[in-house]
Amino acid sequence: MSAITAARPARRSSRRLSRRRIVDVLSHAYIWLCLIVFVLPFMVLLLYSFTGPGGTYAIQNFQYVLGSFRENLLWSFGISAATLLISALISLPAAYAIVRYGFRGKRTLFSALTLPLYVPGAVIGISLLLTYNFTYHLTTSPIGLVMAMVVGTFPLMLTPIVVAMKDLPLVYEEAAACLGATKWQAYRKIVFPLIGPGLSAGLMLTFIIVFNEYLVTLFVHPPGLVTAPLRIFNLVRTAGLLPTTAALAVTMQLISFAAVILFFRVFGTRYLKGTYLI
């Protein structure tokens, strides 16, 4: 009698436990499946970049990254840096004007300004090629490429700054003005640091897109200026997929990851901590 009563609850709980275990296993499997789908291409590329002749293991592939690919990477960094600078110099005052001043057609203007995000790279590329070729003859200089990058990506810089400006209460600027600050002092000492997270988000997004952009570059790059993504594209097209090319691709991916990690580590929400904004 006592044996039966003792056995019953135990069996019921074990059944319940096994059901929970099945759900556990399934949910784990689902998460792992998603992770594998997301991470697999990168892992395959990583493995392939270490493949030597005859299927051996070779770290030498990465010597090419600093050897013959060095110039391409430097071009990519240079174009990215110039684009970030110009884009930020345009977007910071633009965002301030859009948020702080009212004018007719503001919403329409802002929508129009974000248009480049929805236009395919090939369309931007061909239209810029036409424009620059016939108007400024800029397709033979890196300046043309930088301008193309700015035109194609500046909504990525503008939008996070606009959002940060909108989140910033006007009261800080007013307090600064009452304490004797000029408009410029209030901007430099108060507004600029407080929209830091927005600016850094814009910098990060723009960097990742510009650094990895090949389609627009393909249209407007001057002869002899080959950025790293364009080099990858050219090599894959002419020589097939070589492990050395994979090594360059892995390097570029690591640089992009580093930019994201740096953003969250260094900037993150540091400036807004301790305020009622977060």
CB of 273 to another protein, least distance (A): 8
Choose the stretch contacting another protein; rule: CB under 8 A; options: 48-56, 175-183, 199-207, 225-233: 175-183
CB of 178 to another protein, least distance (A): 4
Cα–Cα dist 17/22, whole Å = 9
Question: Among 99, 138, 162, 190, which residue sits at the site for another protein (rule: CB under 8 A)?
Answer: 190
By CB under 8 A, the residues from 115 to 154 that bind another protein are: none
Cα–Cα dist 204/4, whole Å = 66
Choose the stretch contacting another protein; rule: CB under 8 A; options: 79-87, 129-137, 235-243, 269-277: 269-277
Cβ distance 162 to 110 under 8 Å? Answer: yes
> What are the helix and strand counts (H, E) for the chain?
13, 0
Question: Among 171, 224, 237, 238, which residue sits at the site for another protein (rule: CB under 8 A)?
Answer: 171
Choose the stretch contacting another protein; rule: CB under 8 A; options: 9-17, 245-253, 257-265, 270-278: 270-278
176 binds another protein (CB under 8 A): yes
Cα–Cα dist 25/30, whole Å = 9
Cα–Cα dist 243/50, whole Å = 7
Query: Which residues lie across from 51 on neighbouring strands?
Result: 57
Burial of 46 (0-12, 13-18, 19+ CB in 10 A): middle
Question: Among 174, 241, 262, 269, which residue sits at the site for another protein (rule: CB under 8 A)?
Answer: 174
Residue number with CB closer to another protein (144 or 197): 197
Cβ distance 214 to 245 under 8 Å? Answer: no
269 binds another protein (CB under 8 A): no
CB of 100 to another protein, least distance (A): 13
169 binds another protein (CB under 8 A): yes
H-helix or E-strand spanning residue 12: helix 2-49
The amino acid sitting at 90 is I
271 binds another protein (CB under 8 A): yes
Question: Among 41, 185, 254, 269, which residue sits at the site for another protein (rule: CB under 8 A)?
Answer: 185
Choose the stretch contacting another protein; rule: CB under 8 A; options: 112-120, 123-131, 188-196, 225-233: 188-196
Q: CA angle, 214 as apex, 69 and 91 as ends, to 5°? A: 110
Question: Among 53, 120, 180, 223, which residue sits at the site for another protein (rule: CB under 8 A)?
Answer: 180
95 binds another protein (CB under 8 A): no
Cα–Cα dist 25/27, whole Å = 6
Joined together, the tokens standing for residue 209 give 């897109």
Question: Which spans of this chain sit near another protein (rule: CB under 8 A)?
Answer: 169, 171-172, 174-182, 185, 189-190, 193-194, 271-277
